[in-house]
Chains A and B, each alone.
Chain A
Amino acid sequence: MRIGVFICHCGSNIAGTVDVAQVAANAAKMPDVAFAVDTMYACSEPGQQAIEEAVKQHKLTGVVVASCSPRMHEPTFRRAVERAGLNRYMIEMANIREQVSWIGKDKEANTRKATDLVHMAVEKLRLNRVLIPKQIPVTRKVLVVGGGVAGIQAALDCAEGGMEVVMVEREPSIGGKMSKLDKTFPTIDCSSCVLGPKMVDVAQNDHIDLFTYSEVESITGYVGNFEVTIRKKAPYVDWEKCTGCGICTEKCPNKKSFDRHNEGMGTTTSINIPFPQAIPKKATINAATCRKLVDGKCGVCAKVCPSGAINYEQEDELVTVKVGAVVAATGYDFMDWTVYREYGAGRYKDVITSLQYERLLSASGPTEGHIKRPSDGKEPKNIVFIQCVGSRDVSIGRPYCSGFCCMYTAKQAILTKDHIPDSQSYVFYMDIRSPGKAYDEFTRRAQEEYGAQYLRGRVSTIVPLGDKLLVRGADTLAGQQVEIEADLVVLAVGGEAAHGAPQLAEKLRISYDSYGFFMEGHVKLKPVETNTAGVFLAGACQGLKDIPASVAQGSAAAAKALGLLSKDTLESDPQTASVDLKRCVGCGKCWNVCPFGAIREMDMRGQIKAEVLEAVCQGCGLCNATCPQGAIQLSHFTDNQVLAEVEALCRC
């Protein structure tokens, strides 16, 4: 074998603390090394050309690049050696940047360690084999999980690109958080007027198969060939027959159900259609409060339904679909603000959340757009908005900024003045974060044109005072405590990962951060990809964001899915496990540890053996490490290759 070794300077990133010329000189003496050199930027165009030329000139059969993490540039160098006529798996990388130069200052020690890592890579490369990827057919269909504005945008864009789409939404209607908003910033346009047509488009698009009141039960398979099981929860109404006429909701005698769409600002009936623009406009029975389902006495809705759609016996249904890519757009939820005991912990009726206030402002809300405070239905005059409730607060484990509260609070202050001209809004803020297009102008307008009094400081306590609430806070700019007798207090509650987000992430086999937000492939360069091929992210499930950013990410995720599925076949990764049947004793340890279900039991002339389903295997190596016989080996990471690396390290 003839190996070429390239030691990258990475400008001064590596050369600053590693003697790269010395490492190259050391590498030249290693077994099978025919050529070794240091290079300024191995990943640059001239750097890659130099590798290609060296391969041809020195008749190299394998290449070691000592530079950064393989996660950064392994694909780059694989393409480079492929252009030079080698198999793409005949290249190894030694990470002498993240693992050496960035973490140590001692140049001599760094040079020694870099040499060791290069030596290990050389020894492994000597045992590398040519691997050829296979072509696998793909299912040209996309699953969109979540029917908020990000998911809607992703679904519409995919459908526009000619892709079949399956949309799954756990609520009875799509629309997400945006459907609960009255107006949107920074243009004060009506939320349902801009979202409504998109929701209708989803319903009417022949390419989109909509599953609402449904959840992803399980997902198996791999990029291009996922198999998804969807649980359609029982609405106790046959949606094929339901026309959305609403007679059942008028006649239902139990009118005290919690109104989820109105955030508990009013009550609703046990059988209901969440809001007038709901898509699909179908009735759902709340099994927890329905008298018929709880104690068998009622059945009014079944009697009045003109199409005979009510079915109290209905059960959950499981549906299986095959898709090639998945867009996760599960959005966010609001944190439980009642941990703030100084704000009453939910005991004061007139301390409400911003989303509850949004429902009071909305013409389709419980008060038909008249601001009436919950305690006595009076119109409030002094309204206090408190920002950063559950944002930027280490003491409750929410150190991050939710990002949209500054803007919606400004919007609500403006709308308050529109609704009640003789009202006065007070906004307690820490910093005004309004970096979007026309955003800062908007927050200024709230103050200058609409007279909202902005106070820089937090609120320490809210105490009831007659039928009012005494709010005591600080104005740090004046260096004073301030007190306001408020009629209504609106808390700008921060967002958190949607309930159930980590569980979904585990089903999709994608990573999530410590707050439950899904991890993007790269924070700057792969904002909608995940580390699982074929799974993309859109909207607030990746990190809290406002509507414009969610829509943009929805489109971006759709573009990625369309790009992936634009071909009829995909290349499979040949770094998979394979079984040496002579050694396999059929103990079953491998199929028990395999997280992907890629190994199954088979019978070979009466003997039990393991068999790897190559298309399903993700090359994680768990089976290889578990097999007591060393019978199952992961290509490109065989026991022999790993041991060769260990030996190189121990013999230095």
Chain B
Amino acid sequence: MEPIQLGRGDTEFIRKVEEESRQVVKKCYQCGNCTAGCPMSFSYDYTANQLMRLIQLGQRERVLKSRAVWMCVTCETCTTRCPNEIDVARVLDVCRHMARKAGYGGVFNNMRVFADSFLQTVRWNGKSHELGLMALFKMRAMKPFSDLSLAPSMLLKGKLPYLPHRIKGRSEVAGIFKRFSEQQLKELHAQTTDDKKPAGGDK
């Protein structure tokens, strides 16, 4: 591992994380209680307390490129246990947003694709449609046969309805998506100059 260049910590990154999460990351004294209770820790590359430490050190790239920010399920056990009352889950949430905006899909691109596919089904139906979501995701991720063995038993148990349950007020839900993409476009125009890697504009 490359040594962390302490003098080159991204103070702007720390400020932004603190501002957007409304948390003071300096308060973390590294007791490790967030890590101790984290049910997703098995899948992390950095543990929760290590992520907090990297944020304190302004290690933007390491944090935003980490697997952990995507694996976090926002169960908020870390937030509940934190003796310093830091909303750790929220901090990670902010980092996840930053990673997405910065286009850091990387090897975890599928997670982005999954999120996008999920939102697409919500946009169409007003709520999630599992079969549609799976179909979309598998096609977009270009691995149509993965997990296929699970399908028969799920179908038998009625976990995968063929047709989506469409809700009343789908147009209102679609409206939310529309307004969001319009706002995104506006923001894009406003900051095309300083944005290194603009988001794909697909959300």
**CB within 8 Å of B: which residues of A?**
342, 388, 392-396, 430, 456-461, 472-476, 479-481
Contacts and interface: CB of A to CB of B under 8 A. Distances in A.
B36 A395 contact: no
Interface in B1-51: 27, 29-38, 41-42, 46-47, 49-50
Interface of B: 27, 29-38, 41-42, 46-47, 49-50, 77, 81-85
A474 B83 contact: no
Nearest to B30: A476
Contact of B32 (A395, A457, A461): A457
A80 B118 CA distance: 83
B85 A458 contact: no
Nearest to A429: B31
Which of B31, B50, B77, B82 is most buried by chain A, counting CB atoms within 10 A of its CB?
B31
Given A460-B37, A473-B36, 20 more contacts: A388-B31, A395-B82, A395-B85, A430-B29, A430-B30, A458-B81, A460-B36, A461-B36, A472-B36, A473-B32, A474-B33, A474-B34, A474-B35, A475-B32, A476-B32, A476-B35, A476-B50, A480-B47, A481-B36, A481-B38
Contacts of A456: 32
Which of A395, A430, A474 is most buried by chain B, counting CB atoms within 10 A of its CB?
A474
7 contacts: A342-B37, A395-B82, A395-B84, A395-B85, A474-B49, A476-B49, A476-B50
- Minimum-distance CB pairs A-B, first 4: A460-B37, A457-B32, A460-B36, A474-B32
B135 to A, nearest CB: 36
Contacts of A461: 36-37
A459 B85 contact: no
Contact of A460 (B29, B81, B85): B81
A393 B31 CA distance: 10
Contacts of B85: 394-395
Contacts of B27: 394
Contacts of B47: 474, 476, 479-481
Given A457-B31, A458-B31, A481 B83 contact: no
A392 B83 contact: yes
Contacts of B32: 430, 456-458, 473-476
A456 B47 CA distance: 14
Contacts of A481: 35-36, 38, 41-42, 47
Nearest to B33: A458
Contacts of B34: 474
Contacts of A479: 35, 46-47, 50
Contacts of B41: 480-481
Which of A342, A476, A480 is most buried by chain B, counting CB atoms within 10 A of its CB?
A476
Nearest to B37: A460
A473 to B, nearest CB: 4
B82 A459 contact: no
Contacts of A457: 31-33, 35-36
Contacts of A395: 82-85
B77 A460 contact: yes
Nearest to B50: A479
A395 B27 CA distance: 12
A245 B37 CA distance: 54
A481 B33 CA distance: 10
A470 to B, nearest CB: 13
B67 to A, nearest CB: 14
Which of B29, B36, B46 is most buried by chain A, counting CB atoms within 10 A of its CB?
B36
B142 to A, nearest CB: 34
Nearest to B82: A395
Which of A393, A395, A396, A458 is most buried by chain B, counting CB atoms within 10 A of its CB?
A458
Contact of B36 (A388, A392, A396, A474): A474
A393 B33 CA distance: 11
Contact of B33 (A394, A396, A460, A475): A460
A460 to B, nearest CB: 3
Contacts of B29: 392, 430
Nearest to B38: A481
A459 B81 CA distance: 9
A342 B83 CA distance: 12
A330 B30 CA distance: 34
A392 B33 CA distance: 13
A257 to B, nearest CB: 36
Nearest to A482: B36
A342 B47 CA distance: 20
Which of B33, B77, B81 is most buried by chain A, counting CB atoms within 10 A of its CB?
B33
A388 B50 CA distance: 21
Nearest to A471: B36
A61 to B, nearest CB: 56
Nearest to B85: A395
A476 B37 CA distance: 12
A576 to B, nearest CB: 49
A28 B41 CA distance: 73
Contacts of A458: 31-33, 36, 81, 83
Contacts of A388: 31
Contacts of B37: 342, 460-461, 472
Nearest to A430: B31
A510 B50 CA distance: 45
A426 to B, nearest CB: 13
A390 to B, nearest CB: 10
A475 B85 CA distance: 21
A107 to B, nearest CB: 31
A130 to B, nearest CB: 56
Nearest to B45: A479
Nearest to A458: B33
Contacts of B84: 394-395
A526 to B, nearest CB: 31
Nearest to B47: A479
A460 B84 CA distance: 14
A392 B41 CA distance: 25
B59 to A, nearest CB: 15
A623 to B, nearest CB: 46
A406 to B, nearest CB: 14
A395 B28 CA distance: 12
Contacts of A473: 32, 36
Contacts of A475: 32
A484 to B, nearest CB: 12
Contact of B81 (A342, A394, A430, A476): A342
Contacts of A472: 36-37
Contacts of B30: 430, 476
A480 B48 CA distance: 10
Nearest to A396: B83
Contacts of A393: 83
A476 B77 CA distance: 17
A393 B34 CA distance: 14
Which of A459, A472, A481 is most buried by chain B, counting CB atoms within 10 A of its CB?
A481
A394 B36 contact: no
A627 B134 CA distance: 84
B77 A394 contact: no
Nearest to A478: B47
